[in-house]
A and B are shown apart, each in its own frame.
Chain A
């Protein structure tokens, strides 16, 4: 048996597969929790959703399923049609810490769950039961159709994102961010309830609204209105604000984009900018260098002084103009590194696939390769969002194939998954003890897996 890994090692989580539960389930599973995801016969809808590994739909090749279900075991139970399966579900539930599900109060299709917290918490007094639905459990109607796009549009993020040109539509940040935002709150609240349970011995119900989560994750789009009733207006590649601000995104000499950070405040930063302008031979192209020198003499520029000191704003603006000029004359990476090595805040706009291979991330060994023994493919996933010194985050196994663990889980309950911890510090991969031979005994036909 291997050494436990992950701060949540020993935590048992039963997840009903769903659009809004997959991500929080993954967060818990990659943190070491023993997560069993329950799919209906035929598989979770996510298995039918593009993109797929190949051009044709394949329930084992849906990339969303592959990504959002790492480190989990997967079982198939017919909770609607089989009393026997509902009994199996109840037995697993009686012995677990967290139930993660996304059913609305109005959705009566899950026979095992009478979704009434009063009755439910009486029956499972130590269970932390977390519900993630579009508008909160009581308000969410299963017939009210939503997607990631419509949720982000209704809850604030979309109106803040887009271009200076308002003839162009506002933009939805892609990648499934609605479930990421809500799922983060779901995990934080679940862990909060578990910490309380450690002291009180009691579980409880947690209701999470995706819409509410997005509403409180818009920064200025919300804060500005709450403060003074004003509405911020979207701008290209920078913060939406009440009054227009200067551009911060620049096309660099190599066609890639860079972004300027908060303008310099310290005298040393102004001095560094003067030095760089001179080193790049741009003094003649940039007469406002005198304002930068004034910034050095005045000991920098504070934000508070912008409102009160008439000279502060021109100095502040000159620093931005100097960085814009340098950005347009240099390749993106050279500008980014040149800024940061001078303690000037700037970044490069890179694609996710380039970001994960950036030298800094490679040096930190961030990306994780996960072999899938069923297909022979090696998947690449983003690595640890948090690095625990004692209990490392890790992907302990690739996403389960349909019904992969039904027989094993029904035969041995929760305990089997608790010997899969792996060894901290070793490169992640399929866990020891998770042998295909066991899995092969499970008939691959959906719903056919039964305990022996």
Chain B
């Protein structure tokens, strides 16, 4: 074993050494990391989910004052069955497996004092309040650093910790709108289609996880912690870099709504999503070059397709509207799954537009034998399938077996065992609304 400067400072190698006793931790990768996690929903919980899957001890801190409504996903749909309640939201269970859960009322002096003690024995503090909120609650980075000089503090907010919109509130679709992602996703002559889900909650979460891990790598080498300001709108803009570079270098003014064609590509034609047989069935296909087109044209076999005039990509790009009409009239006669298989076999990129049923439980998952949908056990929900991770590590792979924590489920372990609060005081804290 090598010893890092951080470990020479006396950092523990295993945050789970003390328990809780019923908990098996199955990934060794990050078991030396403890995260004091005040984040929630997906943009925050999605980040600490990755850390928890790799064995980090993630302790979610929730406000007890509104009976579990603090994270709006706790009791929100979808549900596995007819039961309703704050422990039964399937999204919350999906986003928080393998984490511990505690409650703390941070409006109380004793609540804040317990949080300070937890921060002092953690490696990381995470939150996704609006910019500046955690500081106003009494926890600016300067205070965190006093409590724990090597702490890594990552804040993920819609507009970041500074600037004129700092206090503004967002959720995924707002971030997508403000960062250009919504605008870019649409068809000509139509309003923006945008993203039909909170894409930026996922991407903001991944950026937040990367920030935590990169800061930990630096800390392990130097012993020094730091604060990281993750602004989800900035993360979103960073996903549109080529568009920005192209407009900038060409000196072009901003585009107007309705002028984009998101299903097309500047260099490929055909490149689109075409109707297939059946109601709302579609096939995506693309010709990367003239060879792809020659193969596709041979599969089509109709006079319009084998015309020599369509052989060069320049001609296909110039006449793309008519080409798409022809192609759509051909694809609509076929089953999307079968036609895509045929085209792929011929060497042409193609895929049915798959529904969740097809891609999760269909006969031919695109990524086979991955274990992408593990079943976790939740104390109240019972067994439930959740999203796995799209990575496999040969030595220290992820593991998801336990569902999300119930509200305050680990108060006894975290405050009692880790922080040494005795039973009488715990009972008093609970009775006085601190927990």
Contacts and interface: CB of A to CB of B under 8 A. Distances in A.
Interface string A271-293: 00000000000000000000000
B187 A168 contact: yes
B7 interface: yes
A124 to B, nearest CB: 13
A219 B201 contact: yes
13 contacts: A7-B218, A53-B249, A147-B271, A158-B282, A166-B280, A173-B185, A206-B393, A214-B390, A229-B357, A235-B196, A238-B196, A349-B192, A380-B249
The 10 closest A-B pairs by CB, nearest first: A352-B180, A212-B390, A225-B356, A227-B90, A153-B284, A352-B240, A160-B196, A191-B213, A347-B174, A154-B351
Interface string A346-370: 1111111111101111011011000
A82 interface: no
Contacts of A31: 210, 214
A382 B240 contact: yes
Contacts of A177: 199, 239
B257 A255 contact: yes
A354 B366 CA distance: 37
Interface string B256-297: 110010110111100111110000101111101000100000
A148 to B, nearest CB: 8
A161 B237 contact: no
B433 interface: no
B384 interface: yes
Contact of B4 (A64, A146, A198, A211): A198
A186 interface: yes
Contact of B173 (A200, A225, A238): A238
Nearest to A346: B174
B97 interface: no
Contact of B254 (A161, A189, A353, A366): A353
B108 interface: no
A136 to B, nearest CB: 5
A384 B161 CA distance: 13
The CB with the most chain A CB atoms within 10 A, among B175, B275, B387, is that of B387
Contacts of A49: 267
Interface residues of B, number: 169
B179 to A, nearest CB: 5
Nearest to A359: B164
Contacts of A192: 29-30, 50, 54, 213, 393, 396
- Chain A residues touching B, majority SS: mixed
B224 interface: yes
A201 interface: yes
A206 B7 CA distance: 25
Interface in B335-385: 344, 347-357, 359-360, 366-370, 372-373, 384-385
A182 interface: yes
B173 A259 contact: yes
A353 B180 contact: yes
Contacts of A10: 221
Contacts of A401: none
A351 B191 contact: no
B29 A8 contact: no
A145 interface: yes
Contact of B370 (A212, A239, A364): A212
A379 B245 contact: yes
A215 B354 CA distance: 10
A386 B184 contact: no
Contacts of A435: none
Contacts of A349: 177, 182-183, 192, 194, 257
Q: Contact residue range for chain A?
A: 35 or more
B171 A221 contact: no
Contact of B394 (A53, A144, A187, A205): A205
A382 B234 contact: yes
Contacts of B315: none
Interface in B139-181: 141, 154, 159-165, 167-175, 177-181
A171 B29 contact: no
A218 B245 contact: no
B324 to A, nearest CB: 10
Given A184-B207, A390-B224, A158 B273 contact: yes
A184 B203 contact: yes
B45 interface: no
A3 B386 CA distance: 45
Contacts of A355: 178-180, 233, 236-237, 240
A348 B174 CA distance: 8
A409 interface: no
Contact of A211 (B81, B183, B195, B367): B367
Given A153-B284, A360-B159, A379-B245, A172 B262 contact: yes
B50 A188 contact: yes
A109 interface: no
A3 to B, nearest CB: 13
B183 A351 contact: yes
Given A149-B286, A346-B174, A350-B177, A209 B202 contact: no
Contacts of A220: 78, 91, 197
Contacts of B177: 257-259, 347-350
Contact of A385 (B141, B230, B373, B394): B230
